[in-house]
Each structure stands twice: as structure tokens, then as C-alpha cells.
Amino acid sequence: MDRTERFYKIDNLLQVNAVVPIGRFLAELEISKATFKRDIEYMRDRLNAPISWSKADGGYRYVSGNKTQQQSLPGLWFNSSEAYALLMMQALLSEMQPGLLGPHIEPLKARLRAVIEAGSHAAGDVESRVKLLTVAARPVPDKNFEVVAAALLRQQRLQISYYSRVRDDVSEREVSPQLLIHYRGNWYLGAWCHKQNAMRSFAMDAIQMVTVLTKASRAMPKKEIDGFIGQGYGIFAGSSVTWAKLRFSPERARWVSRELWHPQQRITQESDGGLILELPFTDIRELTMDILRQGRHVEVLEPKALRDEVLNELRGAIQQYQSPHPARQ
């Protein structure tokens, strides 16, 4: 939390509470007593904030009826997570096509713009200067999304025609929807597949046809649903968890050391500046793709199956580039 953000936190605490003990300030701001005292003095001297210490009440408070005009705190802004949430909501609302929610969208967007402008910045200025870029997002037909979402909430079973990009074929699946997942800009349906007799994730854009069935949906225990996504790396789920061990070069380690690949990941810094990253995975496909993006800056140490998969992909890529270029034949 930087200094400006602390000023707004102090102001907010004083606005909503009659008296705030110093212990609460230190706990919520996560700073030392000396730093807090400097912040208070700055707000009093530079911002004319009428903050006083009440010995009787054992805390700080704003002086009511003070004739000194309190200056507005400069340049209200949001922290990274708040800015992302606000702009993501605004982007999602702007992308919505006319539908049942149409009459409610504009008032909601107006309220959102008002929140942004509460920081003394015009919403249009924020929109033009801060961008959220989505790469490789795959749109989902509105009709299919509405049917799936409604069946999920009503606990209805579905019949879907699902296109598998890996096998390049279409299969018929009977599924009991359990949850919708938005991951890396795309929507996925987590559902019990009655054909495979197991939980599976389905890319929503790959569902070609969907029909609501009269059969009751199979209800899964919350614990099993919560554990479906997140046990291993990425969107793919499974019951068999394997740990990967990756070594990154000193150059790439400067980025990876700050990245969260998985909540349970373990990072070890090496003496040469390199980095060892260990993380769980249940399916080899997505982890392989992300390893390949790192190029020569990463080496798979364990397990052998993952190392072999990455090696085979690299060999195939090298063979392709060693072949005569089509334009030169």
C-alpha cells in the first residue's frame, strides 16, 4: 500500500467511525507507529485535515465544526484489483448485446461511471487512458449461453453436441451442469458427464447444439465441485495430481518469481539467479503449451512424461523449420 492509498484509508476510517484507536490504524494499514504519525502530520499540515487525538476516547477523530476548510485529498485512484474490477465490469457491460437485461444496463453503466468519477477523473478520460486487452477470447453464441446458464441454475440436465478440437469430431454428451467458469477470457462449463461418468470441463464456444432434458440433474457435493478446478494447473481437471519441476534461466526468473502459476506452487531461488518452480497438474496439455511459450529459458526437470512431451513438441517444431520453406520450393 503506497502513501496516497494510506491517506484515503485513514480518511475512510475517520469518516465512518467516530473514533479510531491507533491500534486499528496500524493493523489495517500494516505500517509502523512512526510511519503512521508522519502520515497524520502530513494530512494535518499539507491537506488541512482536521484530525485530532482524543485522550478521553483513546483514538483519533475528525473535529466537528472546525472552521478550517478541509482540502480534498489529491487524485483519488483505485488500487490494481479495484481498477481491474471496475473496468472489467464496464467492458463486459459494453460488450453485451441487446436482450432481456437491456433496460437495466444503461442505469447500471451510469452508476459505474459515477463510481469512477468519484475519484475526480472523468469516466471518459479513464476509459481512454486505461485499457483491458483480451487476447484469443472465443465468443459464445448468446442462445447457447442462456440455455446452459438457465439449466445450471434450475438444476436441469442437458444434451449437448460437443466439438472436440483435439479429435476434430463431434460427440453427443448428456451432462449435469455444476458450474460456469470464466478462464483466460473464455467460458467453460464444469459438468458431470454421464458418458464418461466423471466431472469434465467443456469449452462453451465448442458446444454446437444444446437441449434441455426432462431428467433431473445429478447433484454433486460442494466439496467435489470446489475441488474440480484448482487441484492442478490450468482449466483441465482430474483426480490424479502430479507435480512438475521446472528450472528457469536467470533472465526469465526475474518475471516468473513474481508470477502465480498455481496457489500451491513452490519457488526456490538458485545461486546463479535461476529459479526452480514446482507446481501440481492433472493434465499435461495446458502446462505443456505454457512451457513451450518460455522457449529456451525453461527446462522440465520432472516428471519424465512432461519432459518427453515438451521434447517431442520441440523436435516437431525444429523439423518443421528445417524443412524447405513452401515459398522456396
71's CB contacts (< 8 A; 6+ apart) are 47, 48, 49
Could you give phi then psi for residue 107, rounded to 5 degrees? -60, -35
CA dihedral 19, 20, 21, 23 (to 10 degrees): 170
Distance CA(324)–CA(329), nearest Å, equals 7
Would you say the pTM of this structure is higher than 0.75?
no
CATH domain 142-227 topology = SH3 type barrels. (2.30.30)
Inter-residue contact 297 to 254 (CB < 8 Å) = no
Query: Among 142, 147, 140, 164, which residue's Cα sits nearest to residue 213?
Result: 147
Return the CATH number of 3-62, one of 3.40.1710, 3.90.550, 1.10.357, 1.10.10. 1.10.10
Alpha helices by DSSP H, listed for 159-298, are 222-228, 250-256, 284-292
Residue 71's pLDDT is what?
46
Residue indicated by cell numbers 539467479: 273
Residue 70's pLDDT is what?
46
Helix axes 22-29, 3-16, angle to 10 degrees: 140
Could you give phi then psi for residue 132, rounded to 5 degrees? -110, 115
Per-residue pLDDT of the chain (329 residues), as tens digits, is 667 778 878 888 888 888 999 999 999 899 999 999 998 998 888 777 889 998 888 899 988 755 444 445 554 455 556 666 666 676 666 665 555 555 666 676 676 666 666 555 666 666 666 666 667 778 777 778 888 988 998 899 999 999 998 889 999 999 999 998 888 878 899 999 999 898 888 999 999 999 999 988 999 988 888 777 767 777 766 668 899 999 999 999 999 999 989 888 999 999 999 999 999 998 888 899 999 999 999 999 999 999 999 999 999 999 988 877 666 55
CA angle 17, 19, 21 (to 5 degrees): 115
Residue 67's pLDDT is what?
42
Distance CA(176)–CA(268), nearest Å, equals 42
Q: Which three cell numbers stand for residue 156?
A: 436441469
Return left, alpha or beta for 162; rule: phi > 0 is left, psi -120 to 50 is alpha, else beta. beta
314's CB contacts (< 8 A; 6+ apart) are 292
Query: Among 178, 288, 166, 284, which residue's Cα sits nearest to residue 226?
Result: 178
Inter-residue contact 283 to 261 (CB < 8 Å) = no
Domain ranges of the chain: 3-62, 80-129, 142-227, 242-321
